[in-house]
A and B are shown apart, each in its own frame.
Chain A
Amino acid sequence: MKIQWGNLTRLGQGGAEMTEHKPVRQQKPMEPAATRHKKDHKPAKLGREVQARLGQQLRAMYDEVVSQGVPDRFTELLKRLEGNGNKDKR
């Protein structure tokens, strides 16, 4: 499926308000020249800041699950599987 902005924005909570605007990507923000820092990035290569940002988000999302530890069902499963293996080896 080709991803379109419509699809993506509809998933978010901000969907309703988003539909009235063009996707942010197409809206070049009007920044005062003073706060704008150099854009020396090549089109195909992501800047280090962007990569760091993405990496940070990715790990945060992942670690949120990791920090939940081992749910009981898996400790019990392992015990059960061991027990099964010893008793009735198929």
Chain B
Amino acid sequence: MAMDESVRKTVLGAVPSLRAFAISLCGNVDRADDLVQETLARALANIDSFQPGTNMAAWLFTILRNHFRSEYRKRRREVEDSDGHYAETLKTQPEQHGQVEFREFREALAHLPSDQREALILVGASGFSYEETAHICDCAVGTIKSRVNRARTRLAELLSIDSADEFGPDEQTRAVLAGGGSEQRQRYIIFRPISLFK
């Protein structure tokens, strides 16, 4: 297939974000990279069906997501406890791609239903609009909004944060902060490296 240089650049340019999305979907770097590879192969094989002028990244994300879904369904028949399986996958390779500071967050993310997880990632991290995300996930915009809301609420629950108060400092930092004013404390709460399970 003859590929336009600009198309080629756009496809390659989408790879880092596709990988990040794929990792968030399957929780495994090797499998994620295979998923991206298969996505690229499919995309190039069907490059004629891409409508120039539309969002190439969204198109690639759609292919990746659909491919993952069909694979996932296949696996689901083999592994009944699909959510547990995902969590298990994470557990067996704890620090492969993540720093320690993200571990708890990843684990909480892993416990979300997959449709909520993907909606949250696409809107909250990939930077797609609700409309684009709805298109990628082949559902209504309202559905995406509700999934994102539920995902956030669930995450906050899993990470034990009902309000910013409950990001509360651990013993050590509590002591440090004892002299600080409320404004200082608030800033600290917002920007402090997370360690929610303490």
A interface residues (Cβ-Cβ under 8 A, vs B):
1, 3, 7-9, 11-14, 18, 23-25, 29, 31, 35-37, 39, 41, 44, 46-47, 49-55, 57-71, 73-75, 77-78, 81-82, 85-86, 89
> A14-B197, A50-B161, A54-B152 in contact; A37/B125 too (CB < 8 A)?
no
Chain A-chain B contacts (Cβ-Cβ < 8 Å), number: 163
Q: Which residues of B contact A82 (CB under 8 A)?
A: 1, 3, 8, 44
Whether the Cβ atoms of A18 and B197 lie closer than 8 Å is: yes
CB distance from A49 to the nearest CB of B (A): 4
Interface size on B, residues (CB 8 A): 70
> A8-B108, A44-B153, A49-B190 in contact; A25/B160 too (CB < 8 A)?
yes
Whether the Cβ atoms of A50 and B156 lie closer than 8 Å is: yes
> A8-B107, A12-B103, A82-B3 in contact; A47/B87 too (CB < 8 A)?
no
Q: Can you list 8 residue pairs at the A/B interface with Cβ under 8 Å?
A: A1-B81, A24-B166, A35-B182, A57-B105, A59-B124, A61-B102, A78-B44, A82-B44
- State A78–B7 Cα separation when bound (angstroms): 11
Whether the Cβ atoms of A62 and B1 lie closer than 8 Å is: no
Whether the Cβ atoms of A29 and B164 lie closer than 8 Å is: no
- State A57–B195 Cα separation when bound (angstroms): 11
CB distance from A72 to the nearest CB of B (A): 11
